Structure 1
Amino acid sequence: MTRALMGLAALSLCLSATSTQAQNRGPARGYANPSAVVAAEIAFAKLAQEKGQWTAFRATATKDAIMFVPQIVAAQAWLKGKADPARTVTWQPHQVWSSCDGSLAVTRGAWQGENDTAGYFTTVWQQQKDGRYKWVVDMGEPLPMALDAPEMINAKVADCPPGYRGKPPKASKAPAAPLDPFKRGGKSLDGTLAWDVAVETDGARRFVVAMASAGQMVTVQDLQVEAPAK
């Protein structure tokens, strides 16, 4: 997918850190690996070009992933049976933020569609038990002008908790909360990266991402989306 292929040369240094283990069995758990998240983005993008846009979304989403239409919906239910468009949207990741333990990461970048439409996207990636990444939140919005591609992806990793030694904390076995169409949030297993979204009844929403830095949680994204025109 162009999202992945465009600017690939600029990403080569970042992607060179992706090990054979990450490619074949998934990256090691318990450590941040932004290049593995970028690799997941590229694989997602390539799959969309080869198999179809919504087919790729279904294949790479977690069971409890959400999207915005504009209220929060369960992605797998919304995507079920949805026909792939004739032309797949293309996109390129520009930034990635990762928790210290690598259990959660957020990407941001640019997309391009038909008739010279363009915009930005933000995706939350969750590491699975096998070490691979699947997306748990996906949102994209149009912009009046296309975003310029950076020379290289900007990757940032959250500060680790005091005394952290690379053992991934155990995931909670508590049952998932019922889907609320107006509010949702999540965080990494070590608590160093978190996201929160609130959607108004008119479809306007605010999406915030925060990461641990210098002893506190610092906001790295605060996206405010206007209600769709009626």
Structure 2
Amino acid sequence: MLALLLLAAGPETSAVDAENAFRRAAQAEGQWTAFRKFATQEAIVFLPQPEKAQQALPTLDPPVAVQWWAAESFVACDGTTAVNTGPWVRSKAKGYFTTVWHRREAGWKWSLDHGDDLATPRARPAKVAMRKASCEPITEPVATPVAMLGSKSGDGQSPDGTLLWHWEVSAEGARSFDAWIWDGITFVSVVSDKVAAPT
């Protein structure tokens, strides 16, 4: 049954395909229009505090949309959840992004998007590095990270538990995002983003 639902979900067969479709929609339809179109109803962005994307994002699209490309994609064993990360560019600005994706009956949707500026841009990859979690049974307990006192935080995982993530934001707006993937023996850190508080 799940296989039939996934086949009916749409042309994007992977989170990388979804990322590419998202980027193309931003260029064709408008940046914030595309962000809302591809977001879940519960999706969050950081401004710098966590906000519901559907309500918090601007309604007016900028004249030129940001461009971005997945460089790495970390996928749960069951294929329903992924974390993509890679470079973005906009006029004279550049940086990186990290996005959490979920495959739903209606197609891929993102639930968390964040990133930061960089002084030196990351290279656009010739080919996306994809890493899938092991499907071996999970044998170690998963410890829930404890957020710093006074911070806002959240945790998530794929339905099969093979892809985990945690984010937190301090009162000053400093932010971290971490993701781990099950390799058949232990959970391995695959993304560790740290964003300084705004000045």
TM-score range, shorter-chain basis? 0.7 to 0.9
Q: Is structure 2 residue 13 aligned with structure 1 residue 26?
A: no
Letter of the aligned partner of 2:166 in structure 1? D
Q: Is structure 2 residue 131 aligned with structure 1 residue 156?
A: yes
Match of 1:82 in 2: 59
Q: Secondary structure at the match of 2:9?
A: coil
Match of 1:126 in 2: 102
Give the number of the structure whose residues are more often strand, by fraction. 2
Change (3 A) 1:189 1:147: same
Distance 1:194 1:23 in 2: 22
Match of 1:199 in 2: 169
Distance 1:191 1:142 in 2: 31
CA shift, 1:162, in A, is 2.9
Letter of the aligned partner of 2:184 in structure 1? A
* 2:73 aligned to which of 71, 96, 120: 96
Identity %: 37
Letter of the aligned partner of 1:124 in structure 2? V
CA shift, 1:77, in A, is 1.2
Letter of the aligned partner of 2:111 in structure 1? V
Change (3 A) 1:214 1:129: same
* 1:57 aligned to which of 20, 26, 35: 35
Stretches of structure 2 that go unaligned for 5 or more consecutive residues are 139-150
* 1:38 aligned to which of 16, 36, 47: 16
Letter of the aligned partner of 2:104 in structure 1? Q
Distance 1:74 1:161 in 2: 35
Distance 1:160 1:55 in 2: 36
- Deviation string 1:113-138 (CA, Å, 9 cap, x unpaired) is 12x210000000011134x2100000
Match of 1:145 in 2: 120
Question: Cα RMSD (Å) of the superposition?
Answer: 2.3
CA shift, 1:145, in A, is 1.4
CA shift, 1:112, in A, is 0.5
Q: Which moved more, 1:89-98 or 1:181-190?
A: 181-190
Q: Secondary structure at the match of 2:71?
A: strand
Match of 1:106 in 2: 83
Match of 1:67 in 2: 45
Q: Which moved more, 1:143-152 or 1:48-57?
A: 143-152
Distance 1:84 1:45 in 2: 14
Distance 1:35 1:155 in 2: 13
Moved over 3 A (4+): 21-24
Stretches of structure 1 that go unaligned for 5 or more consecutive residues are 1-20, 28-33, 164-180
Distance 1:214 1:139 in 2: 28
Distance 2:49 2:25 in 1: 27
Distance 1:22 1:54 in 2: 28
Distance 1:187 1:143 in 2: 28
How many residue pairs are counted as aligned between the two chains?
184
Distance 1:24 1:217 in 2: 30
Distance 1:75 1:185 in 2: 17
Distance 2:71 2:89 in 1: 14
